Amino acid sequence: MFSRREMLAASAMGAAMTVSAANAGSFGNPDEPPQGSINAKNPGSVTDPGPQNPAIRDQFPSAFSPPATDVGSMPLTWASFNNAPRRIQDGGWAREVTQADFAISTEISGVNMRLSSGGIRELHWHQAAEWAYMTYGHCRVTVIDPTGRPYVADVKEGDIWYFPAGYPHSLQGLAPDGCEFVICFDNGAQSEFNTLLVTDWFAHTPPSVLAANFGVPAETFAKIPLNDRWIFQGKVPGDLAAVRSAMTGDAETPPQPFTFSLAASPNLNVTKSGTLQLADSSTFKVSTTIATVIQTVRPGAMRAMHWHPNADEWQYYIKGKARMGVFNTGPQVVTMDFNPGDIGYVPRNYGHYVQNVGDTDMQFIAVFRTPNFQEMNLSDWLKHSPAEMVAEHLNVDPAIVPQWPGANAFILPG
């Protein structure tokens, strides 16, 4: 793929191939006055002699010294679980990033949770749908649908689950070392610390009502917890087949599974530069409000310039080092760096790209509040527009336009 700077350079057909350092300072940078450290002539313009935290600063080189092409003011596109407070209890912990913490994240909120072996996230339900991706270990999930069809399954690293809003469920870590996962809710305001818990309802219901509801003496509930359990240590559950048999009895099986192996799903795109794997309602039928793509980008490669017309993009970075540039009207352009445990967010129709700036594979998941994944690829659009018209827009040779990457150019070499 041709970069913006390469396209501009191609227009200078009669110019010398060597560009002086002075000219390079403003090349590809249309803003007046010129921005970026490359355009600063006085050394004092870029130094930072005041108080600072180098450990934090050095994680964000694109913020400390943005590309000269960055312009305007855009809400922060970066957040992280790494600096989110953990709520720790015997049995596990969780931390979250909601819109209250991350203003731009209006459609999705995120939770990072760990359960010990036998640790239980108590029986509960939400006012938003729950989607989750397993990053470590093994977990048992249970859920029941509105027609009384129960479901239980064990999931492992690379698997996902989806529970529609209002479907009651539980989560439990399995041997040998429990599990860790990332949850996304299809509402940016949804909090993991504000859910509908079975212990809360029991504790705040008169014993006589509980007795009438369950058909047992009121004394049955004399020792119920007076406070919610949320996460607590339980016994490691037994064999899945035996538990499933005991749970389901003669009940029907849900028509679609609530779990899915994203890691084992067919590749949407495979090149030497990376891979994309998709799970939306076309493959994971039960997931009617969430689509996701797991993306692996090789060292030096980049996720092509594109945008999504039907949903915001919430990102979770799993491994490697990334740099993302985001473009909006104005113009507004911001570049930010991402590391494992970080979260990115791109509103719908905002153009963006993601580069692997490390020396190992970079991997992240992109989550969308929509049943179906959609993407508009910048290069493919221009390739399939009249070449002469594109050339008139960009001052490039029309002969190169049909050579630009096409529809399958999701991940490109650096």
Q: What is the SS3 string spanning 259-309?
A: EEECCCCCEEEEECCEEEEEECCCCCCCCCCCEEEEEEECCCCEEEEEECC
Residues 157 and 288 in one domain: no
Residues 149 and 224 in one domain: yes
Q: Which residues pair with 271 in a beta bridge?
A: 274
Residues 165 and 200 in one domain: yes
Neighbours of 208 (CB within 10 A): 9
Residues 289 and 252 in one domain: no
Name the pTM for this structure: 0.91
* Residue 58 resides in a domain: no
340 Rama sector, left if φ>0, alpha if ψ -120 to 50, beta otherwise: beta
Last residue of a domain, one of 260, 291, 321: 260
pLDDT score of 29: 67
* Residue 224 resides in a domain: yes
pLDDT score of 27: 55
Q: Which one, of 305, 272, 316, 314, lies nearest residue 375 by Cα?
A: 305
> If the chain, 414 residues long, is cut into consecutive pieces of 10 residues, what is the mean pLDDT of each piece?
36 33 49 84 93 95 94 96 99 99 98 99 99 99 98 98 99 99 99 97 98 98 97 97 93 96 92 96 98 98 98 99 98 97 99 99 99 98 98 98 93 92
* Residue 372 resides in a domain: yes
Residues 352 and 372 in one domain: yes
Active site residues: 121, 124, 126, 130, 169, 192
| Position 93, amino acid | W
Residues 232 and 108 in one domain: yes
- Rounded Cα–Cα distance for residues 163 and 116 (Å): 22
Determine if residue 32 is labeled as part of a ligand binding site. Answer: no
Determine if residue 138 is labeled as part of a ligand binding site. Answer: no
Residues 233 and 128 in one domain: yes
Instruction: Work out the angle at residue 61's Cα, subtended by the Cα atoms of residues 60 and 64, and round it to the nearest 5 degrees.
Output: 90
Determine if residue 393 is labeled as part of a ligand binding site. Answer: no
Which residues span the domain enclosing 149? 83-260
Determine if residue 306 is labeled as part of a ligand binding site. Answer: yes
Residues 227 and 370 in one domain: no
Is residue 280 within 8 A of residue 292, CB to CB? The reply is yes
Last residue of a domain, one of 260, 280, 302: 260
Is residue 251 within 8 A of residue 221, CB to CB? The reply is no
* Residue 153 resides in a domain: yes
CATH (domain of 387): 2.60.120.10
* Residue 53 resides in a domain: no
Neighbours of 370 (CB within 10 A): 21
Count of the separate structural domains present in the chain: 2
Q: Which residue is listed with tokens 């994680």? A: 59
Residues 271 and 215 in one domain: no
Q: Which one, of 225, 197, 201, lies nearest residue 214 by Cα?
A: 201
| HEC per residue, the chain | CCCHHHHHHHHCCCCCCCCCHHHHCCCCCCCCCCCCHHHCCCHHHCCCCCCCCHHHHCCCHHHHCCCCCCECCCCCCEEECCCCCCEEECCEEEEEECCCCCCCCCCCEEEEEEECCCEEEEEEECCCCEEEEEEEEEEEEEEECCCCCEEEEEEECCEEEEECCCCCEEEEECCCCCEEEEEEECCCCCCCCCCEEHHHHHHCCCHHHHHHHHCCCHHHHCCCCCCCCCEEECCCCCCHHHHHHHHHCCCCCCCCCCEEECCCCCEEEEECCEEEEEECCCCCCCCCCCEEEEEEECCCCEEEEEECCCCCEEEEEEECCEEEEEEECCCEEEEEEECCCEEEEECCCCEEEEEECCCCCEEEEEEECCCCCCCEEHHHHHHCCCHHHHHHHHCCCHHHHHHCCCCCCCEECC
Determine if residue 169 is labeled as part of a ligand binding site. Answer: yes
- Rounded Cα–Cα distance for residues 265 and 274 (Å): 15
Residues 361 and 345 in one domain: yes
* Residue 301 resides in a domain: yes
* Residue 119 resides in a domain: yes
* Residue 243 resides in a domain: yes
pLDDT score of 24: 39
Residues 220 and 159 in one domain: yes
Determine if residue 308 is labeled as part of a ligand binding site. Answer: yes
Is residue 190 within 8 A of residue 164, CB to CB? The reply is no
